[in-house]
Structure 1
Amino acid sequence: MKTKKYMNNEKFITGMTMKDGAELENGNMALHTCDAPESIIVNRKKLATSLNCTIDDFVCANQTHSANMHKVTLHDRGRGADQLDTAISDTDALYTYEPNLLLCTFTADCVPVIFYNEADGLVGVIHSGWQGTVKEITLKVFKHLIEVEQCNPTDLHIQIGAALSQEKFEVDEDVYLKFKAFGYADNFIYYNNQTNKYHIDNQQTVKKQCEIAGIPSEQITIDQTCTFVSPDGFSHREDNKSGRHLSYIMRKVH
């Protein structure tokens, strides 16, 4: 199974599954868009084995391009792991202080944000498609963590996973105006005179939202892989029936 391991040390394991023609449904990890749910369960179990955990340790949300977040507790263990109706509803960001839970987010062009706090063991994932970015979900999550959870932003480390590149993310004026309204995304937008389309770098916009929250830019890493261009990428823009990557993080305590 193709997986990008962004980090694997004694404390944290984090990564992103990739498209893989050798696996069932090309390695699709999403129950909400699949040919056969049992194939997805097989893929997830295979991932779990490679991470030295079980599928019952997964925690998944029903993503709706919202700005909603959920603090995961041990009671949430296994939610959405093998069936959709147990997933945490209407939520696009998960975070927890609990060890040995695999927090999951699903993407196919959208930006996955994976984060951890070395000081207190906090881990989390965010799903930020352009709609989530426009709602500033990433900025809202980190503001919440700083204000409510008393998290020091300089202790946070961010991995922005593979997503649709600026070259392939072309939009009309309505979406452009939403990004323009931020006042901080202008450097991440260009206009193509041939196509009359705007091109937006969603990853860089999300990175900027992290920086606005106070996270040092040197603690933010971006995976430049384009999910549209790469043969290892699932792209909804290329195929609206496409599978999904699973980006994950777990704090390990044995």
Structure 2
Amino acid sequence: MKTKIYLNNEKFLAGMTVKDETELENNNMALHTCETPDNVLGNRRKLAVSLQCGLDNFVCANQTHSSNFHRVTLDDKGRGADRMDTAIADTDTLYTYEPNLLLCSFTADCVPVIFYNQVNGLIGVIHSGWQGTVKEISVKVFEHLKQVEQCNPSDLHVHIGAALSQEKFEVDEDVFLKFKDLGYANDYIYYNDQTHKYHINNQQTVKKQCELAGIPAEQITIDQTCTYVDPAGFSYRQDKQCGRHLSFIIKKDN
């Protein structure tokens, strides 16, 4: 099974699955958009084997383009792993201190944000589509981690996964104004005179949000792969029936 690994050290394992024509449903990982749930579960089981964990270690949310987050405990182990109705409701960020829980985020053009704290062992995933970005989900999550979990932002590292590129993320004025109103996204927007569309770099906007939360720029990496252009990408803009990537992080039990 093809999987991008962004991080694999003695403490953490993180990455993102890719579209793969040799797998069932092109390696779709999402139960909410699939031909057959059994195919998705088969793909998830293969991923679990490759990551040396069980499917019951997965923790999944019902993502709603919100700015809601959830601290995952051992009681959440397996939620959403093999059926949708047990997933954590109305949540677009999961974080935990617990080892051996694979936190999952599903995307097809939206920005997946994977983060970890090298000092205290906290890990998490954020689903930041454009709606999540204009709701400043990343800012809110990292502010919460600072205030409630006493995280020092300089201890946080972020991997921003593959997403829709600025070239392919074209929007009308209504969405442009939402980004403009953030006050810091103007450098990541350009206007196309021919099409009368605005093009927004959602990944760079999210990176800026991480920096505003105090995370050092050199501790933030971006996967420049465009999910629309790259054959290994699932793109909702290109195909409304497409599958989903699964971005993940797990804290190893040393």
Give the TM bin, normalised by the shorter chain: over 0.9
* Dislocated runs of 4+, deviation >6 Å: none
Question: What does 1:161-180 align with in structure 2 at a 5 Å threshold?
Answer: 161-180=161-180
Tell me how far apart the structure 2 counterparts of residues 229 and 13 of structure 1 sit (CA, whole Å).
Answer: 27
- Corresponding residue SS for 1:52: coil
The corresponding residue for 1:34 is 34
Tell me how far apart the structure 2 counterparts of residues 154 and 215 of structure 1 sit (CA, whole Å).
Answer: 5
Cα RMSD for the two superposed structures: 0.4
Tell me how far apart the structure 1 counterparts of residues 2 and 243 of structure 2 sit (CA, whole Å).
Answer: 14
The corresponding residue for 1:82 is 82
Letter in 2 for 1:78: G
Tell me how far apart the structure 2 counterparts of residues 24 and 183 of structure 1 sit (CA, whole Å).
Answer: 43
Tell me how far apart the structure 1 counterparts of residues 11 and 97 of structure 2 sit (CA, whole Å).
Answer: 13
The corresponding residue for 1:131 is 131
Please report how far the alpha carbon of residue 9 of structure 1 lies from its aligned counterpart in structure 2 after TM superposition: 1.2
Letter in 1 for 2:113: V
The corresponding residue for 2:194 is 194
The corresponding residue for 2:184 is 184
Tell me how far apart the structure 1 counterparts of residues 144 and 53 of structure 2 sit (CA, whole Å).
Answer: 29
Letter in 2 for 1:74: L
The corresponding residue for 1:239 is 239
The corresponding residue for 2:102 is 102
Aligned residues: 254
Letter in 2 for 1:94: L
- Corresponding residue SS for 2:184: coil
Tell me how far apart the structure 2 counterparts of residues 134 and 183 of structure 1 sit (CA, whole Å).
Answer: 11
Tell me how far apart the structure 2 counterparts of residues 67 and 7 of structure 1 sit (CA, whole Å).
Answer: 25
TM normalised by structure 1 equals 1.00
The corresponding residue for 2:61 is 61
TM normalised by structure 2 equals 1.00
The corresponding residue for 2:204 is 204
- Alignment of 1:158 with 2:149, yes or no, is no
Q: Which runs of 5+ in 2 are unaligned?
A: none
Tell me how far apart the structure 2 counterparts of residues 65 and 9 of structure 1 sit (CA, whole Å).
Answer: 31
Letter in 2 for 1:41: L
Letter in 1 for 2:230: S
Tell me how far apart the structure 1 counterparts of residues 128 and 7 of structure 2 sit (CA, whole Å).
Answer: 21
Please report how far the alpha carbon of residue 119 of structure 1 lies from its aligned counterpart in structure 2 after TM superposition: 0.1
